[in-house]
């Protein structure tokens, strides 16, 4: 059951397509303090808190303070409080069980047992919001009801489930061709190459650098011939430059966010001083979305929307203020204090929250301070593109994912987890985000595999790809200046080939489960606690996840480990695929097991009386045979069935077939007549 509670008068977010009627009675269980703008709930000793989508720390969020405040935070450590997205849904599971969603575009702070271990305090910037309380007899039923209310998750084209290679540093056509040639020559599967900001002319959106990419349309079609899609980046900010049509038209029509005096707000991002499309305004969304046409017309079928928190490095005023402060230190005693003051001043310039206070949106003739709707920006940028694709690409799905998001955007695109580092701790963090993101509707997601910042090591990349073969978005991406991290740069080519190929072997299952999760509003990745709610060990397991109906994954996330402990809440069959072609199948009983997993081994666990449809693989998704699948099986005494979803992988309606397969007593798996 879902109950809506109204406080003040919220700024519309368009998160919930059809809102339930608001109730009059107070929000049960919470002390609401209108002056403090806070909601407080006393936590029971055993209560666990799940959700908050993309954020730091564990699957159980208890014991830290978090913020919904979209932030460009490439160096995040364990003490960060917010990342690139802002997802306001959580579930309390314990003495009571309920979900809570805050429909609100400004800053929210969740003190989940940080200030006081038994207190959950949620604080908002101003008290104009709608709160939804969802009750149900299991966490999964609460999440399901929530997902039904917020609408169906985004469905990408099927090729977007193939492996993508990316790097900030592919600067010309030759770089792209080299990636594809290497993959094809070495038998490393590949479906997409991503174009980072260098394909543009001076980082201007919707332009192409003619020297380095003289014929992007030609390149796209050449790549298509090899089964590869090009996926260019689009940044939120528009370079301010006379003669650049997007800048000129936007200024002329008043399509950019303004300062308090109504003049276009100017802030610096990659192109230098830039303007910010006012995507909260429907007319601007229409305009901004229509700009993607120029790339669609060149044969481009996928985009990643970036820097849309929006990230603002500095304004001329903020830079000037820092300069003045630096000048003030001239002549000061050159001692340790001066040293720390100077380094502090420099660090402060980046991404100052106060900048957001000086930006205004204009919607229906009303000015709205950016701070009050900050978390809605990435959502609306991505929505602009998605809404335009509904007419520009009527019959086909376009790949679209965004760095920043809030709930609502899940209907329009996927999200990647933003800039991470080539750290083992970030591999584990990205793993734990998967179920939390699914709770909030984000199914098409994944991390920069191998890590974006810092130098990767061969073993970290291998282990990260071993997780990546299970995440819908499977992309290796790295930053300019870091060690090159394409699989072919390293020595164990057989290992990388094997790991990448396993993705394509598993694709019939992964795509089928993705589609069922999207169409039926279910989670793809679930913590063990959700599937085995009575099992205390399952409740504490944060390094294993259920994936779809049949699978459990338990990746190795520790350097130099040749295996790991795995907890089985019930008997399961371990599959281990090794690069020399060996496949181990062993049934393990419930409890703890040490499972060996050499560096390039792929392991997963199949539930009893479940099936996994697999293919013989391919070098790209188009080569995978989704029509003639075979099955991995674990018969354990009961009927084993699998509902297999398949479609053409491209049409928007996603009106595919669901075929029921059953395993007979002879061990044969057959499709039941429709």
Footprint of ligand GLC on this chain (CB under 6 A)? 168, 196-197, 233, 306, 403, 418-419, 477
Give whichever of 155 and 437 is closer to ligand GLC, judged by the CB atom.
437
Give whichever of 192 and 600 is closer to ligand GLC, judged by the CB atom.
192
Give whichever of 2 and 200 is closer to ligand GLC, judged by the CB atom.
200
When CB distances to ligand GLC are compared, the closest residue is 168
Number of C-beta neighbours around residue 160 at 10 A: 27
- Rounded CA-CA distance 448/84 in Å is 14
- Rounded CA-CA distance 399/157 in Å is 6
> CB 480 → ligand GLC: shortest distance, Å?
7
The secondary element (H helix, E strand) that includes residue 260 is: none
Residues 97 and 529 sit within 8 Å (Cβ to Cβ) = no
- Rounded CA-CA distance 524/526 in Å is 6
Give whichever of 205 and 466 is closer to ligand GLC, judged by the CB atom.
205
> CB 167 → ligand GLC: shortest distance, Å?
8
- Rounded CA-CA distance 326/53 in Å is 39
Query: Which SS3 state, helix, strand or coil, does residue 370 take?
Result: helix
Give whichever of 417 and 614 is closer to ligand GLC, judged by the CB atom.
417
The secondary element (H helix, E strand) that includes residue 369 is: strand 366-369
DSSP assignment of 509-534 equals: HHHHHHHHHHHTT--SEEEHHHHSTT
- DSSP-derived letter for residue 21 is P
Give whichever of 139 and 406 is closer to ligand GLC, judged by the CB atom.
406
> CB 405 → ligand GLC: shortest distance, Å?
13
Give whichever of 43 and 171 is closer to ligand GLC, judged by the CB atom.
171
**What distances in angstroms separate CA 88 from CA 29, 69, 130, 427, 477, one per listed residue?**
18, 10, 11, 24, 28
Query: Which SS3 state, helix, strand or coil, does residue 630 take?
Result: strand
- Rounded CA-CA distance 193/605 in Å is 31
Give whichever of 196 and 466 is closer to ligand GLC, judged by the CB atom.
196
> CB 197 → ligand GLC: shortest distance, Å?
4
> CB 504 → ligand GLC: shortest distance, Å?
25
- DSSP-derived letter for residue 204 is B
- Rounded CA-CA distance 387/400 in Å is 11
Q: What six digits make up the tokens of 231? A: 């996926």
Q: What six digits make up the tokens of 119? A: 């207190």
Residues 39 and 31 sit within 8 Å (Cβ to Cβ) = yes
- For 400: left if phi > 0, alpha if psi spans -120 to 50, otherwise beta; the answer is beta
> CB 409 → ligand GLC: shortest distance, Å?
16
> CB 455 → ligand GLC: shortest distance, Å?
16
Residues 375 and 381 sit within 8 Å (Cβ to Cβ) = no
> CB 670 → ligand GLC: shortest distance, Å?
46
> CB 387 → ligand GLC: shortest distance, Å?
24
**By C-alpha distance, which of 429, 476, 425 is closest to 450?**
476
Give whichever of 129 and 208 is closer to ligand GLC, judged by the CB atom.
208
Q: Is 252 exposed, middle or buried (0-12, 13-18, 19+ CB in 10 A)?
A: exposed
- Which CB contacts under 8 angstroms, 24+ apart, belong to 657-664? 658/516, 661/611, 661/613, 661/631, 663/611, 663/631, 663/633, 663/635, 663/639
Give whichever of 51 and 453 is closer to ligand GLC, judged by the CB atom.
453
> CB 418 → ligand GLC: shortest distance, Å?
6
The secondary element (H helix, E strand) that includes residue 439 is: helix 424-439
Give whichever of 418 and 649 is closer to ligand GLC, judged by the CB atom.
418
Give whichever of 189 and 453 is closer to ligand GLC, judged by the CB atom.
453
> CB 479 → ligand GLC: shortest distance, Å?
6
Give whichever of 124 and 449 is closer to ligand GLC, judged by the CB atom.
449
Residues 548 and 472 sit within 8 Å (Cβ to Cβ) = no
> CB 469 → ligand GLC: shortest distance, Å?
21
> CB 233 → ligand GLC: shortest distance, Å?
6
């Amino acid at each position: 059951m879902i109950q809506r509670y109204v406080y003040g008068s919220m700024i519309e977010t368009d998160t919930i397509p059809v809102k339930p009627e608001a109730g009059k009675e107070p929000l049960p269980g919470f002390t609401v303090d209108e002056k403090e703008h806070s909601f407080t709930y006393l936590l029971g000793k055993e209560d666990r808190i799940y959700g908050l989508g993309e954020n730091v720390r564990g699957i159980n969020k208890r014991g830290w303070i978090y913020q919904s405040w979209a932030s460009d935070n490439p160096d995040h450590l364990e003490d960060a409080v917010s990342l690139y997205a802002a997802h306001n849904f959580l579930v309390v599971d314990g003495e009571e069980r309920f979900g809570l969603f805050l429909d609100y575009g400004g800053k929210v702070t969740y003190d989940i047992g940080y200030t006081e271990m038994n207190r959950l305090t949620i604080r908002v910037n101003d008290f104009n919001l709608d709160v939804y309380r969802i009750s149900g007899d299991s966490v999964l039923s609460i999440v399901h009801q929530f997902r039904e209310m917020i609408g169906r998750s985004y469905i990408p084209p099927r090729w977007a489930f193939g492996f993508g290679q990316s790097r900030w540093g592919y600067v010309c056509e030759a770089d792209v061709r080299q990636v594809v040639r290497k993959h094809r020559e070495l038998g490393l599967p590949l479906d997409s190459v991503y174009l980072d900001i260098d394909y543009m002319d001076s980082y201007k959106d919707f332009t192409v650098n003619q020297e380095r990419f003289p014929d992007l349309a030609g390149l796209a079609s050449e790549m298509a011939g090899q089964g590869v899609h090009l996926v260019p980046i689009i940044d939120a900010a528009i370079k301010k430059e006379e003669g650049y049509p997007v800048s000129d038209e936007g200024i002329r029509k008043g399509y950019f966010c303004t300062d308090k005096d109504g003049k276009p707000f100017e802030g610096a991002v990659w192109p230098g001083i830039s303007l910010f499309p006012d995507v909260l305004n429907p007319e601007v969304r229409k305009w901004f979305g229509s700009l993607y046409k120029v790339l669609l017309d060149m044969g481009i079928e996928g985009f990643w929307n970036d820097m849309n928190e929006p990230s603002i490095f500095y304004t001329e005023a903020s830079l000037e203020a820092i300069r003045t402060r630096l000048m003030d230190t001239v002549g000061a005693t050159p001692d340790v204090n001066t040293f720390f003051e100077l380094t502090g001043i420099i660090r402060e310039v980046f991404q100052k929250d106060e900048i957001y206070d000086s930006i205004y949106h204009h919607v229906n003739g009303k000015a709205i301070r950016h701070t009050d709707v900050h978390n809605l920006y990435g959502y609306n940028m991505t929505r602009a593109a998605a809404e335009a694709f509904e007419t520009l690409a009527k019959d086909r799905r376009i790949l679209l994912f965004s760095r920043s998001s809030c709930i609502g955007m899940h209907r329009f695109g996927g999200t990647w987890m933003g800039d991470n580092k080539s750290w083992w701790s970030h591999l584990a963090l990205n793993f734990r985000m998967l179920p939390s993101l699914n709770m909030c509707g984000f199914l098409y997601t994944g991390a920069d595999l191998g890590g974006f910042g810092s130098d990767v090591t061969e073993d970290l990349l291998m282990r990260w790809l071993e997780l990546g073969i299970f995440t819908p978005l499977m992309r290796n991406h790295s930053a300019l200046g870091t060690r090159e991290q394409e699989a072919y740069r390293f020595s164990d080519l057989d290992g990388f080939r094997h790991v990448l190929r396993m993705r394509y072997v598993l694709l019939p299952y992964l795509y089928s489960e993705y589609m069922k999760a999207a169409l039926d509003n279910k989670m793809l990745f679930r913590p063990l606690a959700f599937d085995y709610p009575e099992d205390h060990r399952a409740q504490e397991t944060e390094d294993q996840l259920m994936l779809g109906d049949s699978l459990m994954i338990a990746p190795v996330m520790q350097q130099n480990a040749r295996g790991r402990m795995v907890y089985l809440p019930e008997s399961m069959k371990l599959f281990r695929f090794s690069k020399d072609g060996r496949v181990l199948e062993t049934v393990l009983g419930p409890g703890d097991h040490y499972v060996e997993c050499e560096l390039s081994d792929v392991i997963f666990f199949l539930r009893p009386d479940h099936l996994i449809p697999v293919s013989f693989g391919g070098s790209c998704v188009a080569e995978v045979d989704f029509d003639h699948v075979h099955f991995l099986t674990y018969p354990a005494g009961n009927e084993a069935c699998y509902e297999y979803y398949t479609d053409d992988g491209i049409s928007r309606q996603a009106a595919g077939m669901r075929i029921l397969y059953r395993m007979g007593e002879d061990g044969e798996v057959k499709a039941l007549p429709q």
